[in-house]
């Protein structure tokens, strides 16, 4: 018997993005879940944090990802505690002029410490069902 670990009907997209500011508010703990696909290019992930004034704070680019669960630290420049930031997440395949955008998500992020150990809700997308299922540690 063969067990297929890939979903043939899945499309390349962000399944979940979960972000928690560290207590020092100079870093963000970032977790991203992508679907397990059998075929296709390894996607690129770009995160850009937009300051409260609309300027770009910093970005994180992960090229040709082969994992379905990504775990990274995002560093902030001159953080404003309590500031209303926006995170832009883009998923693409290919490089340079041949790159094709396959998913784009944007969501608010208030720069305040939230404790994942105590079950406090993080920032991101796909979190309603995530926290409803109690899946914070998966």
User: Which helix H or strand E contains 77, and what residues bound it?
Assistant: none
Both tokens assigned to 16: 């979940």
Looking up residue 61, the CATH number of its domain turns out to be: 2.60.40.10
Where in the sequence is the domain holding 54, given as residue range(s)? 16-132
Q: Tell me the CA distances in angstroms from 87 to 48, 66, 95, 135, one per residue in order.
A: 6, 23, 22, 22
- Number of Cβ within a 10 Å radius of residue 86: 15
Residue 8 placed within a domain: no
pTM as predicted: 0.85
- What pLDDT, on a 0 to 100 scale, did the predictor assign at position 138? 43
Segment 109-124, tens digit of pLDDT: 999 999 999 989 999 9
Residue 1 placed within a domain: no
Residue 104 placed within a domain: yes
Residue 65 placed within a domain: yes
Q: Tell me which residue of 49, 62, 57 sits closest to 109, measured CA to CA.
A: 49
Residue 7 placed within a domain: no
Residue 61 placed within a domain: yes
Residue 26 placed within a domain: yes
Residue 71 placed within a domain: yes
Count of domains forming the chain:
1
Per-residue pLDDT of the chain (138 residues; tens, 9 = 90+): 555 454 555 789 999 999 999 999 999 999 999 998 766 779 999 999 999 999 999 999 999 999 999 999 999 999 999 999 999 999 999 888 888 999 999 999 999 999 999 989 999 999 876 565 555 544
Judged on CB neighbours under 10 Å (0-12, 13-18, 19+), 27 is middle
Judged on CB neighbours under 10 Å (0-12, 13-18, 19+), 18 is buried
């Amino acid at each position: 018997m063969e067990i297929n670990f890939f979903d043939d009907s899945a499309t390349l997209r962000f399944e979940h993005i979960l972000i928690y500011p560290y207590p020092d508010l100079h870093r963000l703990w970032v977790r991203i879940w992508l679907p397990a696909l059998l075929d296709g290019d390894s996607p690129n992930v770009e995160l850009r944090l937009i300051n409260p004034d609309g300027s770009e704070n910093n970005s994180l680019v992960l090229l040709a990802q082969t994992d379905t669960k990504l775990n990274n630290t995002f560093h902030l420049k001159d953080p404003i505690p309590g500031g209303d930031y926006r995170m832009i997440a883009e998923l693409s395949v290919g490089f340079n002029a041949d790159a094709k955008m396959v998913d784009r998500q944007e969501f608010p992020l208030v720069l305040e410490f939230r404790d994942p150990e105590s079950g406090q809700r993080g920032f991101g997308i796909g979190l309603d069902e995530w926290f409803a299922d109690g899946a914070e540690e998966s």
